[in-house]
Every structure is written in structure tokens, then in C-alpha cells.
Structure 1
Amino acid sequence: MAIEATTLERKAQAGTKPLLKVRGLEAWYGESHVLHGIDLDVGEGEVVTLLGRNGAGKTTTLKSIMGVIGKRKGSVSFGGQETIGLPSRAIARLGLGYVPEERGIYSTLSVEENLMLPPQVKPGGLSVAQIFELFPNIKERLRSQGTKLSGGEQQMLAIGRILRTGANLLLLDEPTEGLAPVIIDQIGATIRMLKQKGFTIVLVEQNFRFAQTVADRHYIVEQGKVIDMIPNEELDANIDKLHGYLGV
């Protein structure tokens, strides 16, 4: 059974200004009803993860927040503005940035062209020089084709590209999937640094041990609903329950 929205609000981290509120979010792929009433809150400056088994609806939740899914209903409020009726391009202009699991790197474009492709939607984005400081590998490969990069380099490019746009809420789908441990550590350090700079991040992640190193709270998604929320400081105490949720 999904937990009530009021429970989410009581359990949300104290002292954070609400930035994203999702209530009763439903979504479909064609005739397939995938989300059945997602409720979640994300405070300004928080890192929040969506955990759950494969097919639970985590990626669909990110796509629905971003408006890149065919049919959705419910409420998605960002900074107090309802976005459920807006197209994805209008949602992006509000300051939401989405990095899909497949990263979306264009094979016909160079690394530099991929990096500069998205328009700036708001002031406050990172400069190219700041992105190079975060991800020096990108600077070294500027003339390479985007898909000639390693998986880790493509992930860095995908994140760096969004940071340039001025988005202040980042939706990251499986950023560590298939990456070497040293690259995972770098992605983790980047997420923690972005949090310190005031970015808000919603993260879909299968590796809950990695999620534990970066997140403030964890929502558990099952069969298209949020069924629990565990603060990060309580994760170890609830590890058996989490294993049950995730089928570990």
C-alpha cells in the first residue's frame, strides 16, 4: 500500500524549502498503466533517491516529472508551479534537467558539440571551465565523437551538458550503471559537490550502497507507487526491510 502524502510531508527532512511536490502521479505507455499514484516531496538542496526492483516505475517517474511520456495525470509542482499540463520543453525552461539512463549522447556530434547543444534555460549554470574542472576527461576528448567515449566519460558529458543549462533540479537515471568503481567514486563526489552548491537531485539508483553515500532520503517504489520512505541516517537500521523491498 502506498504511503499517504501527508505522511511524506511529515517525514520529509526538516528545514528544507519544498521545491518539487508530486501527488497522485499516474502514467501510461500506450495502454499499459505503469504509475498508479506516485507521491513524493523533494526539498530544495536535497538529494533523494528512488529505489526499487526492476520494472517498479522508477524511470517512468523521472520521465513523467520531466513530461517526456505520452500520457500522465495527477500533480507535479515545481517551485510552486503546476507542470502536469506543460510540454517537456517548457518544463526544462523552469530549471529541470534530465539525464536519461542511456545518456543521450549524439554519435554524429563531437564531445564539444554535445556539450554545447542544449540551450541555457536559466542563469546560474556552470561555465564550461567549471565543467572541465569537474570532469577533466571531457576537456581532453573535445574533438572526439561523443560515442567514442567510455561509458564513464559519456556519463560525465551527459551530466556536464545539463549543468551548463542552468537547471537547478537534476533528474539522474542510473548514473553509475555499468561503470568502473573508480568512476562511480567520481560520480559520487560530483553529486556531493553539487549538493553543496545548492543543486537539488532526484536519483534513480539500483546500487543502494552508493545511494547511501550521497542521498538524504530514499523513496521505495513498488508496482508504480511509493510504499515507504527511509531517511539516510536510518538506512542501516532498516537494512533487512530494504532487502525485502529490493529482493536482495
Structure 2
Amino acid sequence: MSTDNTSVLNGSQKSSLAPLLKVSGLQGWYGESHVLHGMNFEVLPGEVVTLLGRNGAGKSTTLKAIMGMLGRRRGSILFEGQQTISLPSRRIARLGIGYVPEDRGIYASLSVEENLLLPPQVKPGGMSTERVFAMFPNLKERINSHGKKLSGGEQQMLAIGRILRTGARLLLLDEPTEGLAPVIIDQIGRTITELKNEGYTIVLVEQNFHFAATLADRHYVVEEGHVVDMIPNAELAVNVNKLHSYLGV
């Protein structure tokens, strides 16, 4: 398993660590539409952090901004202390950041195996295809199936497995449970827990708050393109009414 000690650190030890990812004053635009209005948050090594908020709050746009996928952005994004705000997407990915978009981005005409083997390794330690298949047995059974023939759950597994093959250690997951059956959601949850235990760091955008609450260390609440609150998972019970108010539950 992982040799990364962050996976076994307690809360006080983690709090003394430098952030793996630090986003400060992040502004972002789609064309002329100003979407992000000063996003501020940080993620420590080995954490699972969620971005929560209503539809249109800017959560998914934040992940795209981190990956350099917005046409225009300003502010500061530090990954392992390196400023990435001016870097193109291809260079950001090669720093060790993996992104699974909401639409999963599977190549419909390629087989499961071809999809897995397509991305280049960006860092040492990427998972072997055998390890991915051990994590997602459904994919091994569909190894020769084209992407267009996979179920939504199988596509999500493939999208995550493809990123794990690259060696990325910071994973940005955008709505990984959207539209999936409960049994597949449970499997995705077990996978995220396993990855966390192995020292991966994960930023999770998720509408399924109950799913996120079983996984995350902290929750950032996003409204109108900026963070309005941060709730540690340990304090969730006493803040549930406030969170429901934010989310309109």
C-alpha cells in the first residue's frame, strides 16, 4: 500500500502541514461572464475536501480554473508551492494534478483498455492496469468494450482509473456520483476512501451531500463564485441546519 505518511496523520498533525493546494483571490470568466469572484480555500496533503453549493455557484468552474481550462483567470493558485495561474493545462497536468470532468470525458470509440492506456504518465507511481482492474472489477469484465457501450457507472470508474494511471496525486473529481445507481455510488465511495488511505489528496464537487459527508475532512460552501463558509466534518452535526440553509435543502 502507500508509503505516504499523510494518510495516517491525525488532525493536529495535518493542520501543521503546508497546503498542497492553495487558491487565493481566484477570479474566472467564461467569455464575458464573470463567474468566480475571489475564491479562497486550501487543501492539505491527504485530505478529502468538498466544494458544496447550489447549481451555478461556481464549483465546477473552480476545478476548471485550477486546471487552466478557463479562457481568462486571475489570482493565485499554488500547487506544492508553485504558482500555476499562468500555466497551460498540459503543464498543470504534468505537475501531478488529475481532473475527472462531470461528463467523464471517455473516448467513445476506444475500448476500456485503450482509454486506460491513452494518457501519458506524468509522475512516477501511476497505477498499473491490473491494479485499476482490482479496484474496479467491472472494467476488467468490459476490457474490450468501447466507451459508448459502458454504463454511466462504468464510465465513471474508467474516468477515475484513467487518471490514476498517470501518477497524479491531487485528484479533482466533478460530480462523480451524478446519475448513478446506489450500488455504484457505494463503490465510488469505497474507492475514494481507499485512495485517501493511500495518501491521495482529493477535491470533490458533489451535489449528493450525504455521500460527501461520509468521505470529507472539510466542506467549503460556495455561493456566487466565492467561499462563504468552511465546516469541518467533525462539526457537521451542529452546523447541519446552517448547511441546509446554504444548500436550500
Verify the 8 A CA contact 1:121 1:165 in the aligned structure 2.
yes
Matched residues in 2 for 1:173 and 1:227: separation? Answer: 20
Matched residues in 1 for 2:154 and 2:178: separation? Answer: 13
Matches within 5 A, 1:8-87: 14-87=15-88
Verify the 8 A CA contact 1:23 1:38 in the aligned structure 2.
yes
Ranges in structure 2 where 5+ consecutive residues have no aligned partner? 1-12
- The number of equivalent residue pairs is 238
Percent of aligned pairs with the same amino acid: 73
Verify the 8 A CA contact 1:16 1:45 in the aligned structure 2.
no
Residue 150, structure 1, aligned to residue 156, structure 2:
no
Amino acid at match of 1:90: R
Match of 1:109? 110
Residue 223, structure 1, aligned to residue 224, structure 2:
yes
Verify the 8 A CA contact 1:100 1:172 in the aligned structure 2.
yes
Match of 2:8? none
CA offsets per residue over residues 67-102 of structure 1, 9 Å max, x none?
111110100000000000000000000000000000
1:17 is displaced (CA, Å) by 3.6
1:236 is displaced (CA, Å) by 1.4
Matched residues in 2 for 1:163 and 1:224: separation? Answer: 29
- What TM-score do the two structures reach when normalised by structure 2? 0.94
1:15 is displaced (CA, Å) by 3.8
Match of 1:172? 173
Verify the 8 A CA contact 1:24 1:75 in the aligned structure 2.
yes
Matched residues in 1 for 2:14 and 2:208: separation? Answer: 22
Secondary structure, aligned partner of 1:214 = coil
CA offsets per residue over residues 24-63 of structure 1, 9 Å max, x none?
0000000000000000000000000000000000000000
CA RMSD of aligned residues (A): 1.3
Matched residues in 2 for 1:17 and 1:28: separation? Answer: 29
Matched residues in 2 for 1:64 and 1:28: separation? Answer: 9
Q: Runs of at least 4 residues of structure 1 off by over 2 A?
A: none
